[in-house]
Homo-oligomer: A and B are copies of this chain.
Amino acid sequence: MKDLDNIPALMNELGARAKAAAAELAFAPPEARRRALEAAAEAVWARRAEIIAANGKDLEYGQDKGLSAAMMDRLMLNEARIQGIVEGLRAVAAQDDPVGAVIAEWDMPSGLHIQRVRTPLGVIGVIYESRPNVTADAGALCLKSGNAVILRGGSESFHSSTAIHACLVEGLQVAGLPEDAIQLVPTRDRAAVSALLTMTDYVDVIVPRGGKGLVGLVQREARVPVFAHLEGIVHIYIDRSADLDKTLKVVVNAKTRRPGICGAAECLLIHRDVVESIGKPVIEALVAAGVEVHADPALGELAGTQPASDEDWGREYLDMVIAAKPVDDIDAAIAHIRRYGSNHTDCILAEDKAAVERFFERLDSAILMHNASTQFADGGEFGMGAEIGIATGKMHARGPVGAEQLTSFKYLVSGNGTTRG
């Protein structure tokens, strides 16, 4: 029986259990992990009425708390959304198993044969907000990669997450895997988050999923490595060599397809030589698509736009808003992005190969794009399957974080009585 009032003790127990489960999981057969995810998918579907009932409690709580319509929508589960969760679990189950894969192998003149093989990281802490489906997505990716996970969902989705978590545990049981491989923090108490962030003995990495407030808090307070991005301040630079048609298509898609995701474009930098020929038609197309364009006065008279101020540079709108300004040349664009960007995703529209190379070489965003919509910044679109998020740090995992990025490696070295001279 857990004492839900003594948070440090509770979290320590969760940590110790996760670590023990991780040690077992590290050599559990891939087939068992796959089976657990399939069984979990079956359980989610079989218990959908129960999950929807639990979600009803969360929706009531959310209404009492006065959540916004957008928040309520994120929180809400119906049969179609549960179907989506089931499909997500099955898709992760069907992915190639990353654990144990030989990343590289070679022979040395000494006679040694060296293999570098993929291993799980250990214990992953996932802290998220109101979307209850993250319980399934994150739990599945961590299990697929052989890691134990401690899930800490938003307090608004507490009942929904608990119901979905029960299905994941059912999957583990069916496959004969340790139940502690996927644990959910059983309290809404916020002290549990602080505890999770500092459990250096038990937690190998923290993945925060949510808005800037959550990610910033985690990055400030965590004493374990964090895979995350704080903001997606995505820039598109329109080079003097850009093609008008491609630019129109890409920019409108990059801003409007889903303006609220981290890969949505936030700022347009236009080479001064093509402000008239490309920049203005692009801005007209954005305005026509319903985008509020904050245009630098140096761009001249532009119907339907409003003037940009200093606060518009380096701003993540996550909305149908974009900033736009002219730049003298590609180096000015690069300098602007270095100063105001967030190393998430940045894009160049150009036909001149030398310009593309310069952009790719001189920027160090996790993802650099050429003539393609920044909305492709997504693990699925990279062919990685599901992702747990996008990371902008330089260590370990960068860009989309899928199952493979949740692994480490070890060296296996074989000799035949081989000694060193």
Residues of A within 8 A of B (CB): 23, 26-27, 100, 106, 108, 110, 112, 114, 119, 121-122, 204-205, 225, 243, 245-247, 249-250, 253-254, 257, 338, 356, 360-362, 364-373, 375-376, 381-383, 394-396, 398-399, 408-420
Interface contact A383-B418, CB-CB below 8 Å: no
Chain B: minimal CB distance from A297 (Å):
30
Interface contact A408-B398, CB-CB below 8 Å: yes
Interface contact A413-B383, CB-CB below 8 Å: no
A26 to B87, CA, bound (A): 42
Q: Hey, which chain B residues are within 8 Å of A415, CB to CB?
A: 250, 369-373, 376
Chain B: minimal CB distance from A183 (Å):
20
Interface contact B362-A414, CB-CB below 8 Å: no
Minimum CB distance partner of A380 in chain B: B108
Interface contact B371-A420, CB-CB below 8 Å: no
Chain B: minimal CB distance from A115 (Å):
9
Interface contact B257-A366, CB-CB below 8 Å: no
Chain B: minimal CB distance from A339 (Å):
12
Minimum CB distance partner of A370 in chain B: B414
Chain B: minimal CB distance from A416 (Å):
6
Interface contact A420-B376, CB-CB below 8 Å: yes
A417 to B247, CA, bound (A): 7
Q: How many copies does the complex hold?
A: 2
Q: Hey, which chain B residues are within 8 Å of A376, CB to CB?
A: 110, 112, 413, 415, 418, 420
A311 to B396, CA, bound (A): 36
Q: Hey, which chain B residues are within 8 Å of A420, CB to CB?
A: 253, 257, 373, 375-376, 381
Partner of A369, one of B365, B381, B413: B413
Partner of A381, one of B100, B108, B121, B367: B108
Minimum CB distance partner of A223 in chain B: B223
Interface contact B419-A370, CB-CB below 8 Å: no
Interface contact B246-A416, CB-CB below 8 Å: yes
A414 to B369, CA, bound (A): 6
A-B contact pairs, 18 of them (CB 8 A): A27-B361, A110-B381, A112-B381, A114-B382, A119-B364, A121-B394, A245-B417, A246-B416, A249-B419, A257-B419, A356-B414, A366-B410, A366-B411, A369-B414, A370-B415, A372-B414, A381-B420, A399-B411
Partner of A106, one of B110, B361, B383: B383
Interface contact A243-B410, CB-CB below 8 Å: no
Interface contact B411-A373, CB-CB below 8 Å: no
Interface contact B204-A367, CB-CB below 8 Å: no
A74 to B114, CA, bound (A): 31
Q: Hey, which chain B residues are within 8 Å of A362, CB to CB?
A: 26-27
Partner of A395, one of B225, B247, B375: B225
Chain B: minimal CB distance from A404 (Å):
11
Chain B: minimal CB distance from A309 (Å):
27
10 A-B pairs with least C-beta separation: A372-B415, A246-B417, A253-B419, A394-B408, A372-B418, A396-B396, A375-B420, A370-B414, A373-B419, A395-B396
Of A27, A383, A394, chain B has the most CB atoms within 10 Å of the CB of: A394
Q: Hey, which chain B residues are within 8 Å of A414, CB to CB?
A: 356, 369-372
Interface contact A398-B410, CB-CB below 8 Å: yes
A416 to B415, CA, bound (A): 50
